[in-house]
Amino acid sequence: MKQIFQFDVLIIGSGVAGLACALKLDKNLSIALISKGSLVDGSSWLAQGGIAAVLDEEDSIEAHVDDTLIAGDGLCHKDTVKFVVENGQKTIRWLVDQGVLFTKDKSNKNFHLGQEGGHSFRRILHSADATGKAITRALIQKVKEASNIQIFEEHCAVDLITQEDSTTNRMKCVGSYLLNLKSSEIGLFQAKTVVLASGGASKAYLYTSNPDGASGDGIAMAWRKGCRIANMEFNQFHPTCLFNADAKSSLITEAIRGEGGILLLPNGERFMNKFHKDGELAPRDVVARAIDHEMKRIGCDCLYLDISHRESSFIRESFPNVYEECLKYGIDITKDKIPVVPAAHYTCGGVIVSKDGQTDLSNLYVIGESSFTGLHGANRMASNSLLECLVYAESSASSINYRLPEISLPFEIPQWDESRVIHSDENVVISHNWDELRRFMWDYVGIVRTKKRLLRAANRIELLQNEIQEFYKNFSISRDLIELRNLASVSQLIIKSAQQRKESRGLHYTIDFPDKSKFAKDTILVPVNFAGQEIFISS
């Protein structure tokens, strides 16, 4: 008999968004917190730069809003931006109450505020250069102390479970099938409410700063069950990842440029001033495109980031983790230039949600990088993402706390049926398709796009989808197969969205349509299931 679990709230994802949501829910609710790996395996743990909030007397809510709108290149939803920014100070106070230790200034009285690209003031709170680690560690400790939260590590979500809601004639989410990666058993997790906080989809690209688990699981699962998706063409490429064959996903924080780091060509020449008036502090999309352009123009494998002109003690104190990480590969950043390349970093689109984090499905919430709130527009401004995670964790928790008493547990749900599948002896199919997918996404749907490249990608993804679906139907599932299936779905969403946008805006740059349209419009995809096929309707 396979295990059946019942909870009030099922949270899939254990990064900052999922952890904070669990802590903000009513203490009388039974909560399951699902982590694909360990609690520290996600992108939140790796976040370096910090969290943006208005704390300086010279700064203002209006300035933070304006900076975000400018970075978003006309596509930010202004009401969402104001909602998130206005909750900044409250969010910081809550984090401090949870035990997060932010770096103080020299007086040791006030927080040290950093500055990053796109921000007109110093407003980045940080814990040295490992802010994500500091926040995640503190929240994990609180979650482990909570008697109403049960943690399930090494569990991978397979699919959401839906039923028709007789009171509203809408579909509602009633749980999820989860693969226990230790036992290989698939358990049934029933819940009155489900929260997806499973992160982005940057693993769709060959080069990424994200961990292996960033396979777009939440976006793909919500899409398959009928949720609308928006703006998936806007993939943020972080300008500076360490270029080294052994440094798998080593991000070089943008805060280095905020503290005077300069970008150089191989011959030592600066180049960013040719591309933007703010030079190295230009928005990320501009910097990433500039590096990509110069690498292709010169024909080199990488460019360089140099902070060595600052005092050695300042560098080691401000960026201890970057210093130690680079030192592993023989690079002393107090003396040497850092070889860097752009890499896929953040998914700005996602599942469309309200200000409460609610989706098109009743009882399904999506928060964090899996969601589309309208905050980031066509380009996410640095350090706004952790703030978004925490603000929407609270708004969704408040909504769930209010609505849950009216929701009953779902009626009988069938257990996972794998009676007609067999164990595969050809898992090379999974690894081959995984590699091919990430390569053509990098080559055809990367920093610079064309109609021909996107068409090639669209044709290939359709063939891959058929191959993956056939494999999925006939063989026992594994984490690799689940992630491949989800990555293929999300990649198709990215390609379709990019094909729909006939302009260049923010993170989406196409040679065929280099100009920006006069009208800023979101790309919205609506799934319609017919005969087992996904049909796209744009609006």
Contacts of 477 (CB under 8 A, 6+ apart): 158, 179, 186, 418, 421
DSSP 184-206: --EEEEEEEEEEE-----GGGSS
> How far is the C-alpha of 161 from the C-alpha of 396, rounded, in Å?
20
* Residue 259 per-residue DSSP state: T
Hey, which residues are catalytic here? Answer: 284
**Alpha-carbon Rg for the chain in angstroms:** 22
Angle at 442 between CA 440 and CA 447, to 5 degrees: 135
Helix or strand holding residue 316 (H, E): helix 312-318
First to last CA, the chain: 45
> How far is the C-alpha of 203 from the C-alpha of 463, rounded, in Å?
20
Beta bridge partners, 230, equal 350, 524
Helix or strand holding residue 451 (H, E): helix 451-474
* Residue 422 per-residue DSSP state: B
Beta bridge partners, 449, equal 510
> How far is the C-alpha of 379 from the C-alpha of 75, rounded, in Å?
9
Q: Decide if 360 contacts 227 (C-beta within 8 A).
A: yes
How far is C-alpha 341 from the chain's CA centre? 19
